[in-house]
């Protein structure tokens, strides 16, 4: 039997919005503080996927400098109408505490690869906006609405308002159409229409292990909506035996053959608890019941590691190359920067052809201007390697190999300058915001020439290596590392400063290259290549 192996998008790819245009399928996922904003993948068979586009490539579309960890782009919605792609997204500036400063925008493009337009501002009443194109030509925006007041539940329901494409703004009355269920934390709405019913799917229960998705329907778009009596539609809550946990937030698509599928968020925990790869995307086949509700294909409400593939020809894609020699004029789509777009002032493939030149900026704790280029960790067992040319002059000069979750949790094998040892190696680990140096003394190395750095991650453990010449054997450096602190779940174990609620996070582990010049002079570091391999 032809099957879909889940997750279909491994590593940090949450909040999927799935869309079919003709014979092509697209999934848009959240990117949070990582730039460029929103990742779109393409498929012809719902089984094999490849990267298609990153629509938000310009500061004018997405200005995240200073955004807090796990802020930025939340839960995009991708839709298509009258030969035009529509992408709705949120830029979250502040989400801790009572308030959620979340601004919602719309960009459009005639082709999925772009160019994508300048943004149209929509509203800031809440997050997870979604655009629905009704068959009468009218367009409607839904989003969850946030209520900061102390005596109310902050997830105050799903609001509906009409969008005028001609005026490029929201018009008319704002109406709260659905308050959710007793699962609470109602968010992530998407609207559909079938057989004269409007269907609303929402995420509930938060995005951790209690996560779920719920269906509701109405004969009119503005409600009232009745909840599916067998809610939730999908959840992993209370099912620790499942390989896919945190199942919830998602969206539906109908194939050319009339089959229906649900793309949803999920995670795969290490030791039943820590999801270092972040929240991923899975796909499940769903069927309609006689009384007009959607159900998972097996009649249950649990996510499956394997799902029945659609009746479509298989369409595999060439695998991504493991090695990037930095020989092109543009960075490969796997690479991401933090909060800011790449530009020649700090990131260049041309100043030294065949090398990625990064010019040192702020520290790994900065929310503003980091010189860091990284890619998602997409497998529990992987290895990665780079070659570096760098001549530090002060201890404030650093460059090397980084395993990065956010400003509070990362590991950094780097070369720097030490007054006692000269050019030397050190490992920095920041865990829950606490800075540490893992080598009692920096390791002195030759004053000139290239360095080679390597990392190996095996589930919750990581080991680091280096060598000074290409034909040498790799030398282990530092202790074996536990990388479980680089997960959403590690933060939830630590109370926030007011000790009233557990902190949560929403991204995943990245690996890559970084450099800092804390003197402000932007000293360059040159990386000759980067290799990333998943272990079979």
pLDDT of residue 271: 86
280-299 burial code (b ≥16 CB/10 A, e <16): bbbbbbbeeeeeebbbbbee
Q: Per-residue pLDDT averaged across 510-525, rounded? A: 98
User: What per-residue confidence (pLDDT) applies to 272?
Assistant: 85
- Judged against a pLDDT cut of 70, whether residue 475 lies above it is answered with yes
Residues acting as catalytic residues: 15, 187
> How far is the C-alpha of 487 from the C-alpha of 339, rounded, in Å?
19
Q: What CA–CA distance (Å, rounded) separates 519 from 504?
A: 33
Whether residue 503 has pLDDT greater than 90: no
pLDDT digits (tens, 9 = 90+) for 358-392: 999 999 999 999 999 999 999 999 999 999 999 99
Positive/negative CA dihedral, 299, 259, 216, 265: positive
Cβ–Cβ contacts within 10 Å for residue 198, how many?
Answer: 21
**231-255 average pLDDT score:** 98
236 close to 305: Cβ distance less than 8 angstroms: no
Q: Provide the pairing of β-strand 371-376 with 336-338.
A: antiparallel
- Is a pLDDT exceeding 90 seen at residue 446? yes
Residue 536: predicted pLDDT: 78
pLDDT tier, 496 (very low <50, low <70, confident <90, very high otherwise): very low
β partners of residue 214: 202
Report whether pLDDT(498) > 50: no
pLDDT for the residue numbered 494: 47
Q: What share of the chain is helix, strand, coil (3-state, %, to 5)?
A: 0, 50, 50
Q: Could you read off the pLDDT of 129-177 as tens digits, one per residue?
A: 999 999 999 999 999 999 999 989 999 999 999 999 999 999 999 999 9
Which phi and psi (to 5°) does residue 456 adopt?
-130, 125
Question: pLDDT tens for residues 29-65?
Answer: 999 999 999 999 999 999 999 999 999 999 999 999 9
3-state secondary structure at position 488: helix
Name the band, by pLDDT with cuts 50, 70 and 90, for residue 495: very low
* Under 8 Å between Cβ of 270 and 459: yes
Query: b/e map of 85-110 (b: 16 or more CB within 10 Å)?
Result: bbbbbbbbbebbeeebebbbbbbbbe
Domains of the chain: 3-308 (2.115.10.20), 323-534 (2.60.120.200)
Give dist(CA 11, CA 51) in Å, integer.
13
pLDDT in tens, 177-217: 999 999 999 999 999 999 999 999 999 999 999 999 999 99
Helix (H, G, I), strand (E, B) or coil at 419: coil
pLDDT in tens, 252-285: 999 999 999 999 999 999 988 999 999 999 999 9
What b/e sequence results for 450-473 when a residue is b if at least 16 CB atoms lie within 10 Å of its CB, and e otherwise? ebbbbbbbeebebbbbbbeeeeee
- Which helix (H) or strand (E) element contains residue 490? helix 488-491
Alpha-carbon span 186 to 393, nearest angstrom: 53
3-state SS track over 338-372: ECCCCCCCCEECCCCCCCEEEECEECCCCCCCEEE
**Arithmetic mean of pLDDT over the chain:** 96
Angle at 463 between CA 462 and CA 468, to 5 degrees: 145
Residue 255, both tokens: 């194939």
What is the average pLDDT across 1-23? 96
**Burial group, residue 119, by CB count within 10 angstroms (0-12, 13-18, 19+):** buried
Q: Is residue 101 within 8 Å of 124, Cβ to Cβ?
A: yes
Residue of 486, 487, 408, 505 lying closest to 32 (CA atoms): 505
Expressed in angstroms, the distance from the first to the final Cα of the chain is 23
> Could you read off the pLDDT of 425-445 as tens digits, one per residue?
999 999 999 999 999 999 999
64 sits in the region (left: phi over 0; alpha: psi -120 to 50; else beta) called alpha
DSSP state of 277: T
Helix and strand totals (H; E) in the chain: 1, 40
Q: Is the pLDDT of residue 493 over 60?
A: no
Q: Could you read off the pLDDT of 315-359 as tens digits, one per residue?
A: 999 999 999 999 999 999 999 999 999 999 999 999 999 999 999
Distance CA 185, CA 132 (A): 22
Mean pLDDT of 83-94: 97
For residue 78, the cross-strand partners are 87
- Share above pLDDT 70 across residues of the chain, in percent, rounded to a whole number: 97
């Amino acid at each position: 039997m032809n099957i879909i192996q889940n997750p279909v998008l491994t590593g940090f790819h949450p909040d999927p919005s799935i869309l079919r245009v003709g014979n092509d399928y697209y999934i848009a996922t959240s990117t949070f503080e990582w730039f460029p904003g929103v990742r779109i993948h393409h498929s012809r068979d719902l089984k094999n996927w490849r990267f298609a586009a990153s629509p938000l490539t310009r500061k004018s579309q997405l200005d995240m400098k200073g955004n807090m960890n796990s802020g930025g782009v939340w839960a995009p919605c991708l839709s298509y109408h009258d030969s035009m792609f529509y992408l709705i997204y949120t830029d979250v500036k502040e989400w801790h505490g009572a308030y959620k400063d979340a601004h919602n925008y719309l960009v459009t493009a005639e082709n999925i690869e772009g160019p994508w337009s300048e943004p149209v501002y929509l509203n800031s009443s809440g997050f997870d906006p979604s655009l629905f194109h009704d068959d009468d030509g009218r367009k409607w925006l839904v989003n969850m609405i946030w209520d900061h007041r102390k005596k109310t539940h902050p997830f105050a329901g799903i609001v509906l308002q009409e969008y005028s494409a001609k005026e490029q703004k929201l018009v008319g009355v704002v109406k709260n159409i659905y308050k959710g269920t007793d699962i609470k934390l109602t968010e992530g709405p998407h609207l559909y229409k079938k057989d004269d019913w409007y269907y609303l799917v929402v995420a509930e229960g938060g995005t951790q292990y209690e996560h779920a998705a719920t269906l509701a329907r109405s004969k009119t778009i503005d409600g009232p909506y009745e909840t599916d009596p067998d809610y939730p539609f999908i959840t992993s809550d209370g099912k620790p035996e499942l390989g896919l946990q945190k199942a919830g937030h998602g969206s539906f698509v109908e194939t050319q053959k009339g089959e229906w599928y649900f793309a949803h968020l999920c995670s795969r925990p290490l030791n039943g608890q820590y999801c270092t790869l972040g929240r991923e995307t899975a796909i499940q086949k769903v069927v309609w019941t006689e009384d007009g509700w959607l159900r998972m294909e097996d009649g249950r409400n649990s996510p499956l590691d394997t799902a029945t593939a659609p009746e479509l020809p298989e369409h595999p894609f060439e695998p991504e190359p493991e090695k990037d020699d930095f020989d092109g004029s543009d960075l490969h789509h796997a690479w991401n920067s933090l909060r800011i777009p790449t530009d020649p002032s700090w990131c260049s493939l041309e100043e030294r052809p065949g090398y990625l030149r990064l010019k040192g900026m702020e520290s790994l704790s900065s929310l503003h201007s980091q010189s860091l280029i990284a890619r998602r960790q997409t497998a529990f067992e992987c290895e990665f390697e780079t070659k570096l040319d760098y001549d530090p002059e002060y201890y404030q000069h650093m460059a090397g190999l980084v395993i990065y979750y956010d400003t509070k949790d990362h590991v950094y094998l780097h070369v720097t300058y030490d007054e006692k040892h000269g050019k030397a190696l050190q490992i920095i680990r920041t865990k829950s915001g606490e800075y540490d140096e893992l080598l009692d003394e920096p390791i002195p190395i030759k004053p000139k020439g290239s360095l080679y750095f390597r990392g190996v991650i095996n589930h919750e453990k990581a080991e680091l290596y280096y060598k000074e010449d290409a034909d040498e054997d790799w030398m282990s450096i530092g202790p074996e590392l536990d990388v479980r602190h680089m997960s959403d779940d590690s933060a939830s174990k630590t109370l926030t400063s007011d000790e009233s609620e557990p902190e949560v996070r929403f991204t995943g582990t990245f690996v890559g290259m970084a450099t800092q010049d804390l003197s402000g002079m932007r000293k360059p570091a040159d990386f000759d290549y980067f290799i990333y391999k998943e272990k079979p």
